Structure 1
Amino acid sequence: MAARLNVLLISNLFPTPVDPIRGVFTCQLAKRLKAICDVTVVCPLPWFPSWARGKMFEKWAEFSRVPGLYEWQGFTVHSPKYPMIPRMSEAAHAALMFPSLYRTVKRLHRLRRFDVVNTHWLYPDGVAAAWCAQLLGLPHVVTALGCDANLFMTQGHKRFQIERAIRKAEGVTVVSEALRQFLVEQGFGDKPIDVIPNGVDAELFRPRDKAECARQLGIVSRGKTVVFVGQLLEVKGIIYLIEAVERLVAGGKDVFVYMVGEGSGRPVYEAEVARRGLSGRIQFVGNRPHSEIAVWMGAGDVFCLPSIREGFPNVVLEALFSGRPVVASRVGGIPEMVNTNNGYLVESGNAAALADALGEALEKTWDANAILATVSHLSWERAGQHYLLSLEAAMKKRGGNP
């Protein structure tokens, strides 16, 4: 019987005691991989003084409170810290991350040799991990998730570093066909790129009764309800959702929206909602535990994600697994999930089109199980097996034996 692969998984996107919903999808993949190989998780994070104050520094200061070693859902997570100055040290993040990351990886490698490294997030993680893998003679598979490719590759100070990391890697994976095509357009057409969509926890995200979900959440089950889940940032297109709701209400629609998530833009959007007289229609509920997101999905009639830019957003899959139709922007990997059988796609930044699509979706009678059937093949088990094949292929390319 072949020995289990010993995999080093590196990503800053992993849950922490300070931010338990950070990188939940990386954690879900790691758990699936752990069922079929041995997995060690290293979560490198920036260090910034915890006493720093002000909106600009608040999120960075939180990282300093994450322990260097902590337990999380069956994993002993190693979290080396590296110095950084928000915005100013952006071009040097990989170089700043490398020393502490390398010390940690080298120490763990001496305790028990790794077979392969898989890094999720191209910059700075993928770049710094590429240097570590090269020094230790390990095959490296780098995984692109979204804006780490389609945004960072447009930024000159990051592009060169990312290009070199991808070129050096024995394997490249992406979470959507759209991201694969993007990398091909960026000059990587000669490099094999595996498309491995994320999965969903099907036990958690499933069709639920709307009234029962509202009862569990302690909210009034009102008329037609739209749910948004995500960070309250400009890139999520929230202003267009607000304007779309204003249009629907002006047209006589009895519609309500729950905004689940946090972000630096929340005060701006709350003020905009109040200015438009929509405070009774749009409610901000903040960050919620991942397990509760499934209940929020069930409490809505339609899920909406009006983003300007996306990778392969798992919240869309989770909504579809919950049997809820999706109205979303035609960006990134979203068109690979949403079609006429389970929702509507609109051009990003078009509030009028968004309002029309929401209106149609809210009026249409949907079959929750039929919606689920459109994506039920996308499981974490399937993703885990595909990653294992990619990791084994990288080892063979390097000359090792999986």
Structure 2
Amino acid sequence: MKSKRQTLVILSPGFPKDRSDTACLPPQQIFVKALKEICPGLNIIVLTFQYPFFAAEYEWHGVKVISIGGKDRGRIYRLVTWIKAWLILKKLHKEHRLIGQLSFWFGECAFVGSRFAKKHHLAHYSWLLGQDARKRNKYFKWIKPKGDELIALSDFVAREVKKNYGVKPLHVIPVGIDTSLFKTTPAKRDVDILGAGALIPLKQYDLFIEAIAYLKEDFPNINAVICGKGPEMQSLISMARAKGVEGNITFKGEVPHKEVLKLMQRSKIFLHPSGYEGFGAVISEALYGGAQVVSSCKPMDKEYRHHFVVKSQGEMNARLLSLLKNKKLDHDPVLMCSIEQIAKNMISLFVD
């Protein structure tokens, strides 16, 4: 009788629809690839609830992906998605030797995954990745997790969970970066300030534009770039026009992940004005890309070279001005976490 394969099931609200879909959750897809590379004998299956917006089974870099295609629809449709997920997990449990389940975010995936794991006595961990640690997450009430079932993305996220829900995640595993994606040859630093992320109110790109308007007084030809799309796009473009910096800021929209990394290696400073950030993979990527990083959030307790945390618009403007005036700005890569080590830390939770 053929023995069942050791299998890890990853539950996620979304996952790339194919290899070219690099803009879909870059940190998570880099993690899954690394996990497959360091554990080539482990069968990894990704069960994705909402995106892609179609139901299918397909292969992605040697990993089987099962897409339910929930399309982010609410009410009865979401319940149907959960039932489908349960039935798929039941089938996988019958066909494979499951070593456990890992849920991305503490949300619907964690809810279905934890329920299934408890029923079948399987290991299950929820990886809290940012906003799921904030107040009013109903899934904490529904799941009632223990600390040893939770993985925090950062020291900051671990503290948020403890503060908001009275339970402290026992594990802290941040996102890592794939250093092989970065060019080894030095790039010309022709971008003064770069930003990258979703153009939503939480990310506070209005502060980015305010900073460029302030800096233009000393640097009339300052060159700034913003990568990302979102509902704030048009209002930000209008704000840039009103502030007289429309010629200084290029809005690139959604850009493939590799192109964002190239831009980081061309940038003097990476500005991340987000008001809340679990970790911010772009921070670690920008640091490794050699950019000086100015952000409003400090994900890890450890201090890192080239990373400056600011608490106000004035402090942000002053730090940016000081960096741009520095003629000997250091652009050596700073590695926060390699993806290989992150994958090893994660798999150690499931195997001895």
User: Aligned-pair distance for 1:354?
Assistant: 1.5
CA distance in 1, matches of 2:302, 2:67: 34
Query: Does residue 291 in structure 1 map to residue 291 in structure 2?
Result: no
* TM superposition shift of 1:7: 1.0
1:182-331 equivalence runs, <5 A: 182-189=160-167, 193-205=170-182, 208-211=185-188, 221=190, 225-252=192-219, 254-331=221-298
In the aligned structure 2, how far is the partner of 1:328 from the partner of 1:342?
Answer: 11
The CA RMSD measured in Å over matched residues stands at 2.6
2:329 & 2:34 partners in 1: Cα distance?
32
Deviation at 1:75, TM superposition (A): 1.8
Q: CA deviation at 1:255?
A: 1.6
* Equivalent position of 2:330 in the other structure: 367
Report the counterpart of residue 40 of structure 1 in structure 2.
Answer: 45
Question: Which region of structure 1 is more displaced relative to structure 2, 249-258 or 321-330?
Answer: 249-258
Q: What residue identity is the alignment partner of 2:114?
A: A
| Percent of residue pairs identical | 22
Conserved? CA contact 2:193–2:267, under 8 Å: yes
| 1:21 and 2:23 aligned | yes
Query: What residue in structure 2 maps to residue 353 of structure 1?
Result: 315
The CA deviation string for residues 182-208 of structure 1, in whole angstroms up to 9 with x for no partner, is 22223444x651111211111123665
Q: Which amino acid letter does the alignment assign opposite residue 306 of structure 2?
A: N
Q: Does structure 2 conserve the Cα–Cα contact (< 8 Å) formed by 1:338 and 1:344?
A: no
- C-alpha change, 1:200 and 1:68, in structure 2 (3 Å) is same
- In structure 2, relative to structure 1, the CA distance for the partners of 1:225 and 1:98 (3 Å cut) is same
> Is it true that 1:385 corresponds to 2:344 in the alignment?
yes
Question: What SS class does the counterpart of residue 122 from structure 2 fall into?
Answer: coil
Task: Determine the C-alpha separation between the residues in 2 that align with 1:106 and 1:357.
Answer: 54
CA pair 192-84 structure 1, distance change in 2 beyond 3 A: closer
Q: Secondary structure at the match of 2:16?
A: coil
Structure 2 CA distance, aligned partners of 1:11 and 1:98? 12
Question: What does residue 6 of structure 1 align with?
Answer: 7
Residues 172 and 193 of structure 1 are in contact (CA less than 8 Å); yes or no, is this contact kept in structure 2? Answer: yes
Match of 2:94 in 1: 110
Contact 2:200-2:231 at 8 Å conserved across structures:
yes
Partner of 2:58: 70
Amino acid at match of 1:380: I
Distance in 2, matches of 1:242 and 1:193, equals 39
TM-score of the aligned structures, taking structure 2 as reference length: 0.88
Change (3 A) 1:358 1:337: farther
In 1: Cα distance, 2:71 partner to 2:285 partner: 36
Q: Is the 8 A contact 1:171 1:391 kept in 2?
A: no
TM-score by length of 1: 0.78
- Which segment drifts farther, 108-117 or 169-178? 169-178
Is residue 176 from structure 1 mapped to residue 176 from structure 2 by the alignment?
no
Q: Secondary structure at the match of 2:180?
A: coil
Indicate if the aligned counterparts of 1:6 and 1:116 stay in contact, CA closer than 8 A.
yes
Q: CA deviation digits over 1:231-285, x for unaligned, max 9?
A: 1111111001101111111345542210011111111111111122211101101
What is the alpha-carbon distance in structure 1 between the residues aligned to residue 321 and residue 220 of structure 2?
A: 8
Which one-letter code corresponds to 1:143 in the other structure?
W
Mapped to 1, the partners of 2:175 and 2:138 lie a distance apart of: 29
Q: Which has the higher helix share?
A: 1
SS in structure 1 of the partner of residue 276 of structure 2: coil
C-alpha displacement at 1:367, in angstroms? Answer: 2.6
Q: Distance in 2 between the 1:262 and 1:230 partners?
A: 8
Corresponding residue for residue 141 of structure 2 = 160
- Please give the alpha-carbon distance, in whole angstroms, between the structure 1 residues aligned to 2:122 and 2:249: 51
Runs of at least 5 residues in structure 2 that lack an aligned partner in the other structure: none
Distance 2:201 2:169 in 1: 34
Unpaired segments ≥5 residues, structure 1: 47-62, 214-220, 393-401
Name 1:59's counterpart in structure 2. Answer: none
Shift of 1:11: 1.0
